[in-house]
Amino acid sequence: MTTRLIYFAWVRERIGTSEEEVELPAGIETVADLLRWLQSRGEGYERALQYPDVIRVAINQEHVDHREKISGAREIALFPPMTGG
Amino acid sequence: MSAVLVPSVRIQRQDFDVAAEIAALTQGRADIGAVVTFSGLCRDEQGALSALELEHYPGMAEAEIGRIATEAVQRWPLQGLTVIHRHGKIAPGHNIVLVVAASAHRQAAFEAANFLMDYLKSRAPFWKKEHRTDGSEGGWVEAKEADALAAGRWKSPSE
């Protein structure tokens, strides 16, 4: 199953794309697993995700924490802490 | 029993008219005794900022502000609630965000508007990038810990 990954703000700039479809390898069960796997995909990912604690994550457009299971997620978004308002 | 209020949430590029938004909530009604509005504007502190560029997560921005607004109408007895958040490039002095809360009495309207802004700051998926008057990019605005703490004070002890 493919999962749509979406990036915003400096996460998007460092990775170099705003979204992509990925085939997640077996063993990627939680958000934390996903962040670790993404870091191994190249220099941009490494720079974007070098401090994973800072990264905020939404699954299917709802905030989740890093322990959340990602099975069945259609859309996972990674972004910095929000600065709206 | 009256129907549960459905808040009006809009994410838009264009500006808004504060007076028109108040009128839209109060027109033809005699049961509203208090309207609190909060407007957030783009601010320049050193004369170096030409604009803030607001990036947002389309779909989730509406959904998340909708969730926060729904919580507000469940917690306070409101007669009307409008939340507007702009995106795109916004110059200093121009509007970014508007909350209008209407109620029978002032306390509910004040508290709901305050709650909305505290939550919106730390949970609504928007990010501000600075553009400087010298033409350079000033970088992304950093989230303030104070904003996250401000949102935390609305949690009930059981949460």
State pTM to two decimals: 0.94
CA distance B159 to B155: 6
Segment B11-64, tens digit of pLDDT = 999 999 999 999 999 999 999 999 999 999 999 978 899 999 999 999 999 999
pLDDT above 50 (res A72): yes
Write down the pLDDT at residue B94. 98
Residue A85 CA to residue B146 CA, distance in Å, equals: 14
For chain A, domain boundaries: 2-79
Q: Phi first, then psi: what are they for B6, rounded to 5°?
A: -100, 115
- Say if residue A22's pLDDT is above 50: yes
Distance from CA of A11 to the nearest CA of B (A): 11
Does residue B2 sit within a domain? no
- Tell me if B115 is assigned to some domain: yes
Residues with Cβ within 8 Å of residue B67, at least 6 apart in sequence: none
Residue of B nearest to A59 (CA): B60
CATH class of A2-79: alpha beta
> Is A10 in Cβ contact with B143 (below 8 Å)?
no
The pLDDT of residue B118:
95
* 3-class secondary structure, A32: helix
- Residues in A closer than 8 angstroms to B96, CB to CB, are 85
| pLDDT greater at residue B2 or residue A2 | A2
> Which residues, 6+ apart, have CB-to-CB distance to B116 below 8 Å?
B38, B68, B69, B72, B81, B83, B99, B101
Q: B2: which 2 tokens?
A: 């009256």
| Long-range pairs of B65-69 with CB within 8 A, sequence gap ≥ 24 | B65/B9, B65/B11, B65/B120, B65/B124, B66/B7, B66/B9, B68/B116, B68/B119, B68/B120, B68/B123, B68/B124, B69/B7, B69/B9, B69/B116
Residue B22 lies in a domain: yes
Per-residue pLDDT, B157? 62
Tell me the one-letter amino acid at B90. Answer: I
B4, pLDDT greater than 80: no
Q: What percent of chain B clears pLDDT 70, i.e. is strictly above it?
A: 96
Do the domain assignments include residue B1?
no
Chain B residues touching A19 at Cβ < 8 A:
none
In a domain, B158, yes or no: no
How far is Cα B24 from Cα B19, in angstroms, rounded to an integer? 9
**Domain count along chain B:** 1
Phi, psi (5° rounding) for residue B149? Answer: -65, -40
Shortest CA gap A63–chain B (Å): 8
The number of beta carbons lying within 10 Å of the beta carbon of residue A62 is 13
- Chain A residue with minimal CA distance to B38? A85
B77 is a domain residue:
yes
The nearest CA of chain A is from the CA of B109 a distance in Å of 18
Mean pLDDT of chain A: 96
- Say yes or no: B10 contacts chain A, CB-CB below 8 A: no
Nearest CA in chain B to A58: B60
CATH assignment of the domain containing B134: 3.90.1170.40
Residue B122 lies in a domain: yes
Quick check: B109 contacting A, CB < 8 Å?
no
Give me the domain span that covers residue B133.
Answer: 8-152
pLDDT at B2: 55
| Res B3 pLDDT > 80 | no
CA B43, distance to chain mean position in Å, is: 16
The rounded distance, in Å, linking the Cα atoms of A28 and A33 is: 5
- Residue B1 is predicted with a pLDDT of 46
**What b/e sequence results for A8-44 when a residue is b if at least 16 CB atoms lie within 10 Å of its CB, and e otherwise?**
bbbbbbbbeeeeeeeebeeebebbbbbbebbeeeeee
Q: Which of A16-30, A58-72, B85-99, B142-156 shows the lowest per-residue confidence on average (mean pLDDT)?
A: B142-156
Inside any domain, residue B157: no
Of B96, B97, B126, the CB nearest to A82: B126
Look at A83 and B140 and tell me if their CB atoms are within 8 Å.
yes
Of B59, B125, B147, the CB nearest to A79: B125
